[in-house]
């Protein structure tokens, strides 16, 4: 069984993915971590040294590699992964279940604010401007996320409760 988790940054894909994989007794792969291990540098450094186009091509290649090389996996994607290089088509064709972890803008803003220094995309955006940024960005990305086979509305669920909801869908 191949399960792909998608959603905006700070939506809990990695946390939920690790928990879900442990409970199902299958492998877990965080796509961003996989790319970093493969390239031996951070996503931030890949972006700054080689640019977004290089990164998005690499991300597509690594997505296919993970889905091709595992028969059973929970894969946590980057927030932008489904939006580029026909990745959503790849996800739908090569996974058994794709799940969008949906959060409201206020919850995402609250979560992102707590970890801004680790999020290059929003690191330099003033807190007062974050709701507008997240809202606009989510508006652009949501059509891709909504193509997932399942959607879990995660407000105000804990990670354990989100995992329980996902398990009901499988």
Inside any domain, residue 61: yes
Mean residue pLDDT of the chain comes to: 95
Nearest-angstrom CA–CA distance, 114 and 99: 25
Share of the chain above pLDDT 70, in %: 100
Mean pLDDT calculated for residue range 117-143: 91
| pLDDT for 120 beyond 90 | no
Neighbours of 57 (CB within 10 A): 13
Inside any domain, residue 169: no
In Å, how far are 3, 11, 74, 123 from 118, measured between CA atoms?
A: 26, 14, 23, 7
Specify the DSSP class assigned to residue 75: E
Nearest-angstrom CA–CA distance, 135 and 117: 20
Inside any domain, residue 104: yes
| pLDDT for 113 beyond 90 | yes
37-94 pLDDT per residue, tens: 999 999 889 988 998 899 999 999 999 999 999 999 999 999 999 999 999 999 999 9
Reference 105, options 30, 5, 9, 15; nearest CA is: 9
CATH code of 13's domain = 3.40.50.300
> Exposure of 64 by Cβ count < 10 A (0-12 exposed, 13-18 middle, 19+ buried)?
middle
Inside any domain, residue 170: no
Cβ distance 52 to 24 under 8 Å? no
Inside any domain, residue 82: yes
Which residue range is the domain that position 120 belongs to?
2-164
Q: What is the pLDDT of residue 123?
A: 83
Total domains in the fold of the chain: 1
Nearest-angstrom CA–CA distance, 94 and 89: 8
Inside any domain, residue 150: yes
Inside any domain, residue 103: yes
Inside any domain, residue 157: yes
Nearest-angstrom CA–CA distance, 133 and 146: 20
In DSSP terms, 29 is beta-bridged to 75
Look up residue 130 and give its two tokens.
């974050």
In Å, how far are 130, 136, 163 from 159, measured between CA atoms?
A: 24, 26, 6
């Amino acid at each position: 069984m191949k399960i792909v988790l998608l959603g905006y940054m700070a939506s809990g894909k990695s946390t939920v993915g690790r928990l879900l994989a442990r409970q199902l007794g299958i492998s877990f792969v965080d796509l961003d971590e996989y790319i970093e291990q493969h390239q031996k540098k951070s996503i931030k450094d890949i972006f700054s040294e080689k640019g977004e186009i290089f990164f998005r091509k690499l991300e597509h290649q690594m997505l296919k590699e993970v889905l091709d090389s595992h028969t059973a996996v929970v894969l946590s994607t980057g927030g932008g992964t489904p939006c580029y290089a026909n990745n959503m088509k790849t996800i739908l064709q090569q996974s058994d279940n794709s799940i969008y972890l949906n959060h409201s803008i206020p919850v995402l803003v609250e979560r992102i604010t707590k970890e801004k220094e680790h999020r290059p995309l929003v690191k330099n955006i003033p807190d007062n401007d974050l709701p507008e940024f997240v809202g606009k960005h989510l508006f652009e990305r949501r059509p891709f996320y909504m193509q997932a086979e399942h959607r879990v509305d995660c407000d105000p669920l804990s990670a354990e409760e989100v995992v329980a909801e996902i398990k009901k869908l499988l």
